[in-house]
Structures are given as C-alpha cells and as structure tokens.
Chain A
Amino acid sequence: MSETTATAANDRGFWGEANYPGIFGWIFSTDHKRIGLLYFWSVLTFFCVGVLLGLLLRLELFAPGETIMSAQTYNATFTLHGVIMIFLFIIPGIPAAFGNLIMPIQIGARDVSFPKLNLFSWWLYITGATLAVTSLFTGGGPPDTGWTFYVPFSAQTSTNVSLAAVAVFILGFSSILTGLNFVTTIHRLRTKGMTWMRIPLFTWSLYATAWIQILATPVIGITVALLFAERVLGTGLFDPAQGGDPIMFQHLFWIYSHPAVYIMVLPGMGVISDIIPVFSRKPAFGYKAIVVSSMAIAFAGSLVWAHHMYTSGISDMAVMIFSFLTFIVAIPSAIKVFNWLATLYEGSILLDPPLLYALSFILLFTIGGLSGLVLGAAAADVHVHDTYFVVGHFHFVMFGGTGMAFFAAMHYWLPKIYGRMYDKTVATVAWGVIIVGFLILYISMKVVGMMGMPRRYYDYVPEFTGLNQLATVGSWILAIGLILMFVNIIHGLFKGDPVEANPWGGASLEWQIPSPPPTENFGEEDPVVTHGPYDFKKAGIL
C-alpha cells in the first residue's frame, strides 16, 4: 500500500514533494514551479475580479444617467478595474506566473538564481494586493482617481489614494525583484550547450522584459512616493501655487507606465513566438530578428512616454520628437508579425487551442497596434486622446494581445505542469465565443470614441447610446466565453486525461521531461543541449 502511494507521488512529479505540510508546502516553497502556480492562481483570481468590475462598468453605461450605481461608485469602480488589471494581473501575469513555471526549465536550470528572493517577491505581491484591497474599506473610501493618479486631483481627493500609492510602491518592488532574478538566472544558470542563440524566444522575451522591470519600475516607486509626500506632507512639488508643476507628474508617471506597456506585451509576444513554430512544425522564422526586435522594443519603448501627453501643454517640439520616436517603435512590432506569418508558410499546421489563441493574438494585436498609429500621429491623437478610442485601443493591445497570450500559455503549458489535458473541442468553442464578444465590445468602443465620447464618463449624451448598448451586449458574450474557457481548463487540469511528456511535439527542453516535471526538473544530471529550440528534425519530431 505504502509502495503504491510512493509511486503515485513520484508520478505526480513536483506535486508530490513538499517541504512543509498542506498549504505551507506552497506559501513557503522556494520551488519555481510552486511559486509560479502561486502567482498563476493569484493573478487569475484578480483577473476574475477585474472582469467582474468591467462588466459592472458596462452595465452602468447601458443607458445614459444612473443605471445601477452612483457617479462616485462608478469612478471608484473604473479606478479599481484599472489598478487590478494592470498592477495585479497584466504586469505579473505572464512573467511571474508562466516565466516562473517554464523559464528555468527552458534553459535547463533546476531553479532560478535566488529561490528565496523569488518567494519573497510573491509575498510582496500579496502584501501589495492586500493593501490595495484594504484601501477600499478604510480612510476616505475607495480611490477615485483612475489608475493614472493624475495630480492635482489625486493630491486633493479625500479618498484613500495614499494607501493605494503605498500598495503600488510595494507591487513595484515585487516586479523589480522578479526582473533581477530572471536576468541573473538567464545569464548564470543556462545548462551546457544552451548558447544565447539557442534560448527559446519566450525566455528571450522575459530577458528583455526583465531589464525594463529593473530599469523603469523604480520610477513609478519614486512617482507614487512623491504623490504620497504631496498628500501627507504637502510638499507642493506638483502644485503650481507652490512652485510645482502638475505636468511633471505626468512625465514621471509615463516614464514608467509606458515601458510598462512593454513589460505587459513582450512576454506575450514570446509566448506566441514559442507556440507558432510547434504547431507549424517549422523553426521560428527570423529567430535573430525576433530577438533583436524584442531588445529594440525594450530600448526604444523607454523613450516614447510623452506620446500620452500631446494635449497636456508640453511644447510642440516635444510633441514632434515623441511622435517620431513612437513611429520608430512601431517597426520592430511589425517585423514580429511578419515573422510569425512567415513561420506558418509551408508548415504543417494543426489548429489546436494553443495555436487558435496565438493566432487571435496576431489578429487582435495587429488591430490594436494599427489603432496605436492613429494615437501616435500628433494631429489624429488630438481628436481621439482621452476618448473611448483609447480605451478600445489599449484593450485590443492588452487584452487582445497579452490576455490572449496568457490564455494561449494556459492551454499550451498547463497540461505540462498538471499532467492532464482539457477538452479541446470545448476550448475551441470558448475561443470562438470570446473572439465574437471581444470584437463587438471593443470595436463599439473605438467607434464611439471616434465620435467623441470621452473616457471615464459616467454619463453620456444621447447620441452615444446605441454603441454603448452594443458594447455592453458584447461584454456579456465575452463573459460567457471566458466562463466556458475557465471551467473547461480547470476541469481538465484536475479531472482530464493524463498527458505524456510531449503532447504538442515541441523541441525545447520543457517537453523533454515528464509531465508534471520532477522537483528539480532534470534529475541528477543536467541536460546537455545540442540543437536550437525549434529544430524539430534533430529533436526527433519530424
């Protein structure tokens, strides 16, 4: 009897070996896979809360005037929706959850460089999240500033902005430490034969992301610390009556928050770059170009922040420079799209759920990226800035991009981690429902924005009613699709059929070890890498 249990535990890989009993085996674990799963379930929980808040916002906007909530509640709700989705879902989403789960295996390492720091990062994340939630129920009530915390409003409002600022500060440190850990790991812990040009593109994208996390995130820490000082001490740095400047806050805020957009989307691009070759049975086309474009985006993306500020009162010269740089940063993104398409060309394509979600990334990200060109052009931006066009745009890029990549990663890697498969037909149906709802919801937003409806509007003029109702209906369809997808995948992970080591036919290292992976991934001997991550011939797939 005891022998059978032992065998079962061994088959369950890292699931069977915990250093502490019960829940402590998770929250005090330093295993990168356990920490990855802690992150995964935490960010998923906050994603669901964020979706719920988004649905409430759409419901309120179903008709002009008060529909289900007061103006103050609405303002707090969209603030919370933004803060949760950005700081608690998208930024940690792919890097902290799937990066932790997969990256060390992809480079043939037993764990990250600093496992205890890794656990500490998760604890910081939970602390920050707890404070953010606490800010809703204490002090002057939930913050009502929008996730951008623009002064002077944020310095004056009586709501609990100070505590939310502290929460963002702590979450920033979680992000910085994860970045530090990943850069070190990728430099120091690659196994024998894992040269830089054999690193899978997902890990490459995490590397580029990690540098932005390390270099840009301290700026948001400084920004919210100054906001805190403004509120608590009355420093006046952003108050013109005391020699300060409210526009300086916007610069500081976007110096982080624009690069943060690339923290959000680069790992998603990495997921897509890993999935498409596997399901086409072809090497990633232009591997080096994708690597270079990731690093180029990470660098150039740090120099375009003021394109959020064309109408803010900055000089015309600044507008010209930032508009120009913004268009430059569009080029590497376009190159990636062409590379993905060329990877499909002459392949042997299997439309399994991970590829479906990856292809919808390409479609939705392209629409989002192209609408970004409207925003990057100075004159066009003046009309659509701070309207629903922007809301539609960033949902296409963030949700249609990063969100879809997150779903693709779930369908691609979770069977490896859990050792079980979901129902592929249901996953495909859910995908279809999600795409239909998504397009109805966010295209309506873009059109109503082009007509001139400003964002963060609790109430609107009657001519915008039709499109707002269409968007709300879209949000319901999208919600149904999401429920279907989550129920299917969660059911599959716990009750589905067992999967073998390499269900998709991948050539990178994570597919060479059992599903679920053992505790230190590769057993006694470190693997020796002899070919690239997409060399399906040498890997024996073809």
Chain B
Amino acid sequence: MNPQPLITTTEAVDKALYVIFGISCIALLGVTVAMVYFVWRYSRKRYPQPLSQKDHNVWLEITWTIIPTILVMVMFWYGWDGYLSLRRIPDNAIPIQGSSRMWSWLFTYENGKTSDKLYVPVGQPVNIRLSSEDVLHSFYVPAFRVKRDCVPGMETYAWFVAEEPGSYDLFCAEYCGVAHSSMITTVEAIPAAEFAGWLAEKPVATSPGIGLLQKHGCLGCHSLDGSASVGPTFQGISGRQVTVATDGKNRTLSTDRIYLKKSITDPGADIVEGFPPAMPSYADQIPAEEMEGILDYLMDEEGNKAEDKGPIEAKQPMEKKVEAEVVEEQSVEPTATNKPAIPANPGQTLADQNGCLGCHSIDGTRIVGPSFKGMMERERTIIRGEQKEKILADSDYLTRSIREPSAEVVEGYPAIMPSFPDFSDDDIKALQDWLETLK
C-alpha cells in the first residue's frame, strides 16, 4: 500500500477559493474596464450620433455563452472535489463526540473524558460527531475551513487535522438565540504525547456540582465569579434577594431551593429583573439525581463536596458501560432503593434496552403481550401449532419464547412478537433472575 498524502480540509477549501477568486478577479476587471472605456470612448460629446445601431451578433453571443459555461463548470468541479475531501474521513481519525446546546459546547473523548474546549493532538485527524440537544447550531472552525450544522435528532460530522499547535477559534455559525455570539470556544491543538497525557488525567479539578453545571451548559450563560453574562451569576445565589417579573408584575423574593428548581424547569415563570426571558426549560433534560446535585451545589457548595461522588462523566459513555457491566454483575442484588437513577438490575436494563417493556408491563396490566409480573413458574395455556397445551413457564420456556416467539403463543394474545436471537444464555439468565423478583 502506498498511502496518499493527506489533503487537509484547509487545503481542500483553499484550492477551490483560489480558483474561483482568480477567475472572478479577471472577469470583474474585464467588465469594469470595458464599461468605463465605452462610457469614455463613446461619450455624447465625442459622438453626438451613435456610430452604429448593431443589435445582435450571433457568433459573439455564442462565444460569450460558451466561455462562461466552461468556466462555471471548472469552478463547480473544484468546489465539488474539495467538498469530497471534507466528507471523506481519514481512517486514522480519532472520534470525538461534539454536543451542542444553548449556548455551549461539550466534547466527549473515547475514554469518556469531557471538556468544553476541544482538545486535539497535532498532526492527527479528528472526526467530530456532532449533535444538538435543542435547536440548530453549527460547528465552525475558520482556521480549518470546516463547518457543519448540529441538528436535533440526527448526527452529523466534520473532520479536520491541526498541523500546528495552537489555540483556534471555534464558533457557532447557525443562529441559536440571545447568546448565539457567546457560543464560542477554542480548539486546543497540543502535541500528541501531551494530548495522551491530558486524556489520561482524571478531571479532578472541579467539584461534582461544577461538573454538572458544565455538563448541562449552565455556565454558558451563568458565571461562577460574579461577572455579568446572559443570565444572573451563580456566585452567592443562595438566599440572594432578587426582583423577578411574574406574569408582568414585579415581586421580590429570596432564592431558595424551590425557587431555583422552578427556574430550571420553568424558567419563563419568574424572570429576574434586567435579564432577557431567554432560558429554555430543562424540565426533561436533567435527571432527578443530577438536578438534586445541581441544587445541592447552588444552595451550599460545602455540603456538596462532602458527598464525594467522584468525577461526573458524560451521559453517553455511561450508558454504553452499563451493557458491559451486565455480565460481570449478574449476582448483584437489586438495590433500587439506594440508587434510583442507575438501573440497578441487569435484567431490567436488558428488558429496557431491547424494548420488551413496550409490550410487557411489570405491574400486571395488559398491554400487547402478557405482563412480566408473576410470570415465572406459573402455569400457562399456550397454543403450539393448532393445539392448546398447558405448560410451566420455566427457563427453557423463557428461552424459547424469546428466540422463537411464534412457536408457542399464550392463549388470548396475538402472535406478533419478533424473534430476539441475539439474546445470549447469560442475558436470558439475567432476565429470568429479574423476572423472578416481579412477584
């Protein structure tokens, strides 16, 4: 294999820019010179009567149709060719998740580490997988000529390689509301070895509370140091006297836990005087546990530290890890009461991830299929082929009904469940353990 030299995004875009600029400058010069010359040469002072009444010339017109056609095709080609380079991700590109929301960026690296600046190793292509949690944003790094919109509900990407160490501006280029122009961060290009070291570092610098504020983008608009921003500062927010507008009427209150929670879930209800009604609601975006963490931090920073929850990791890697942990932790007893936010039982996690709970309830109610409640070790009437049969719902039956659901169908239910052949024996065991707890 003879690998082709990498065409950087900057080179790809600049080539198209230079070609088009070159052609355009010549065309503009030609048009301007011809116009000024004709106006001077054929002025009415010089020629009180026009020299001719020519109103067409077929060959001239054909010529000035064909030449621009060729030129625009050349320009199209350079543009398209460069664009393909932007879309072709090099094989060795490091994937980084780039999440955007009003009005901040969060980058998540392969090992789960997160940062609000984008750290990249020099000389190594990176592929930023872009997503948005609310409205449209656009990932734009002028130095590398890359731009791609972040669209809610779909993943887009942009790759680039930083060839020189340095700090490069990263802008949001798609209008996203009042603090659009503050949605700025930087790309920090550092030598590869330094990058590896940075990546391995545990993010111990910040308290869990600050980690949560960062994770949910609060700090894009609310400062921690008392400085004015889009929204009120968090410094000294606990017990602060504020004047808010509620339904157009001003009232003064002292910020407490209830008020803070309301202003996160229903920010439009009470607007602090002097600030725009710009904050979106985070009602469905912050899990209950994290909401408590944020409120703990805002109300009392010290108390939050005492809990020592360790560094907060981003949501996505955590979800992925749960699956891996399933096999290892099969014997773990459900501890749902202690840790409500993390799905405690691997069997429940499996059922949740595979969509079982869409058709099978856990509380005895009938949805599409039979409820999971009290399902195991119960006698059921099933239909096998044309015949009715009574069987005991044991682990063999469970295996069959997952891998080949249409072979035996419980009486009174439709035979519509798809097969789940990917469930391993361990998975089924985990599921059974969980089902047995649902008495």
Residues of A within 8 A of B (CB): 70-72, 75, 140, 144-146, 150-153, 156-158, 240-241, 245-247, 280-289, 310-313, 316, 319-320, 323-324, 327-328, 330-331, 334-335, 337-338, 341-342, 344-351, 359, 362-363, 366-367, 370-371, 373-374, 376-383, 385-387, 451-452, 454-461, 534, 536-537, 542
Contact = CB atoms under 8 A, between A and B. Distances in A.
A312 B149 contact: yes
A421 B11 CA distance: 56
Nearest first, the 7 A-B pairs at minimum CB distance are: A240-B153, A377-B79, A452-B142, A379-B82, A378-B83, A370-B24, A346-B51
Given A153-B175, A374-B17, A377-B16, A344 B39 contact: yes
Nearest to B141: A452
Contacts of B175: 145-146, 150, 153, 386, 455-456
B153 A331 contact: no
B69 A331 contact: yes
Interface string B162-173: 000000010111
Contact of B65 (A156, A331, A377): A331
A341 B230 CA distance: 53
7 contacts: A71-B276, A327-B75, A331-B69, A341-B31, A348-B43, A382-B145, A454-B173
Given A240-B152, A327-B76, A454-B171, A383 B31 contact: no
Contact of A348 (B34, B49, B57, B140): B49
A347 B75 contact: no
B193 interface: no
B28 A370 contact: yes
A326 to B, nearest CB: 8
A156 B72 contact: no
Contacts of A144: 177-178
Contacts of B69: 331
Given A330-B68, A456-B180, A345 B42 contact: yes
A313 B149 contact: yes
Contact of A341 (B15, B28, B34, B146): B34
Contacts of B296: none
Contacts of B39: 344, 349, 351, 359
B59 interface: no
A337 B184 CA distance: 42
Contacts of A281: 49-50
A374 B180 contact: no
B259 interface: no
B409 interface: no
A385 B147 contact: yes
Interface stretch (B131-139, B301-309, B327-335, B392-400): B131-139
A387 B13 CA distance: 15
Given A380-B79, A383-B13, A246 B35 contact: no
Given A373-B72, A460-B181, A156 B135 contact: yes
A101 B37 CA distance: 34
A383 B142 contact: yes
Nearest to A288: B56
B32 interface: yes
B147 A72 contact: no
Interface string B30-61: 01101100110011100111111111110011
A18 B267 CA distance: 57
B20 interface: yes
B12 interface: yes
Contacts of A330: 68, 72
B85 interface: yes
Contacts of A75: 177-178, 180
Nearest to B156: A313
A19 to B, nearest CB: 43
Contact of B38 (A156, A345, A456): A345
B285 to A, nearest CB: 12
A241 B133 CA distance: 11
B203 interface: no
Contacts of A285: 54-56
Given A335-B61, A341-B35, A347-B50, 9 more contacts: A152-B135, A280-B50, A311-B138, A319-B83, A323-B76, A327-B76, A382-B13, A386-B140, A454-B173
Contact of A334 (B64, B85, B148): B64
B81 interface: yes
Given A72-B278, A246-B136, A459 B181 contact: yes
Contact of A387 (B72, B169, B173, B268): B173
B78 interface: yes
Nearest to B27: A370
A346 B181 contact: no
A72 to B, nearest CB: 4
B388 interface: no
A367 to B, nearest CB: 6
B13 A386 contact: no
Given A373-B75, A380-B20, A456-B180, A362 B35 contact: yes
B182 interface: yes
A383 B34 contact: no
A452 B83 CA distance: 18
B55 A282 contact: yes
A346 B82 CA distance: 44
B147 A386 contact: yes
B428 interface: no
A323 B50 contact: no
A283 B21 CA distance: 34
B24 A335 contact: no
B61 A289 contact: yes
B153 A327 contact: no
Contact of A378 (B15, B57, B68, B79): B79
Contact of A452 (B42, B85, B140, B230): B140
Nearest to A73: B276
B86 interface: yes
Given A313-B156, A348-B47, A454-B171, A379 B85 contact: yes
B180 A386 contact: no
Contact of B31 (A337, A451, A459): A337
A334 B156 CA distance: 36
